[in-house]
Amino acid sequence: MNAPHPAKVAGIDSTVPAPAHTVASAAPGASPAAPQSATETADVTDDPGTPCAPGALLQDRLAGWVSDLTTLHELTERLVRTDSLAEGLQELLRAGAALVGARRGLVTLEPADGLGPDTTVGLGLARADLGHIETVPRDALPHGRILDGLPVGAGGLAEPDLFAEEGLDPRHREVAARLGYAASYALPLSLESAGSAGSTGSTGTRESTRGTGRLGAAVWLYDEPAEPDVRQRHLAGLYTRHAVPHLARLLEVERTRTSMATLAEELLPSRLPRVPGVQLAARHRSGPRGGGDWYDALPLPDAALGLAVGSVTGSGPSAVAAMGRLRASLRAYAVMEGEDPVAVLSDLELLLRLTEPARSATALFGYCEPALRRITLAGAGHSPPLLIGQRRTEYVETSVSAPLGMLACWEAPSVEVQAEPGETVLLYTDGLLHRTGDPADRAFARLHAAAAGVPRAARQDPDAVAEHVLRTVLPGGKAEADSEEDVVLLAVRFD
Full 3-state SS string of 72-136: HHHHHHHHHCCCCHHHHHHHHHHHHHHHHCCCEEEEEECCCCCCCCCEEEEECCCHHHHHHHHCC
Distance CA(54)–CA(25), nearest Å, equals: 9
Query: Helix-strand-coil percent breakdown of the chain, rounded to 5?
Result: 40, 20, 40
Residue 19, pLDDT score: 53
Residue 230, pLDDT score: 92
Express each pLDDT in 135-165 by its tens digit.
Answer: 999 999 999 999 988 877 767 899 999 999 9
Q: Which amino acid is at 172?
A: H
Distance CA(353)–CA(16), nearest Å, equals: 64
Distance CA(300)–CA(307), nearest Å, equals: 10
For the segment 439-444, the average pLDDT, to the nearest whole number, is: 94
Distance CA(320)–CA(224), nearest Å, equals: 53
Domain ranges of the chain: 72-260, 268-494
Is residue 286 predicted with pLDDT exceeding 60?
Answer: yes
Residue 408, pLDDT score: 67
pLDDT band, residue 13 (cuts 50/70/90): very low
Single out the residue of 325, 317, 308, 409 nearest to residue 362, CA to CA: 308
Residue 194, pLDDT score: 56
Express each pLDDT in 58-82 by its tens digit.
Answer: 888 788 788 888 889 999 999 999 9
Single out the residue of 433, 423, 337, 323 nearest to residue 376, CA to CA: 337
Q: Which amino acid is at 305?
A: L
The CATH class of 268-494 is: alpha beta
SS3 call for 287: coil
393 and 385 Cβ atoms separated by less than 8 Å: no
111 and 251 Cβ atoms separated by less than 8 Å: yes
Q: What pTM value is reported for the model?
A: 0.60
Instruction: Return the sign of the alpha-carbon dihedral for residues 478, 479, 483, 489.
Output: positive
Q: Which helix (H) or strand (E) holds 441?
A: helix 440-452
Single out the residue of 353, 354, 297 nearest to residue 327, CA to CA: 297
373 and 419 Cβ atoms separated by less than 8 Å: yes
pLDDT band, residue 200 (cuts 50/70/90): very low
Q: Who wins on pLDDT, 262 or 388?
A: 388
For the segment 208-228, the average pLDDT, to the nearest whole number, is: 80
Residue 42, pLDDT score: 36
Express each pLDDT in 465-486 by its tens digit.
Answer: 999 999 999 998 887 777 778 8
Is residue 266 predicted with pLDDT exceeding 80?
Answer: no
Residue 263, pLDDT score: 73
Is residue 385 predicted with pLDDT exceeding 50?
Answer: yes
175 and 132 Cβ atoms separated by less than 8 Å: yes
Q: What are phi and psi of 31, to 5 degrees?
A: -75, 130
For the segment 351-362, the average pLDDT, to the nearest whole number, is: 88
Q: What's the mean per-residue pLDDT of the chain?
A: 83
Peptide bond into 117 cis (omega under 30): yes
For the segment 354-382, the average pLDDT, to the nearest whole number, is: 92
Is 390 buried (19+), middle (13-18) or exposed (0-12) by CB count in 10 A? Answer: exposed
pLDDT band, residue 321 (cuts 50/70/90): confident
Is residue 493 predicted with pLDDT exceeding 50?
Answer: yes
Residue 445, pLDDT score: 95
Is residue 412 predicted with pLDDT exceeding 90?
Answer: no
Topology of domain 72-260, CATH: Beta-Lactamase (3.30.450)
Residue 218, pLDDT score: 95
61 and 53 Cβ atoms separated by less than 8 Å: no
Q: Which region among 126-130, 222-226, 405-409 has the lowest average model confidence (pLDDT)?
A: 405-409
Single out the residue of 235, 161, 151 nearest to residue 188, CA to CA: 151
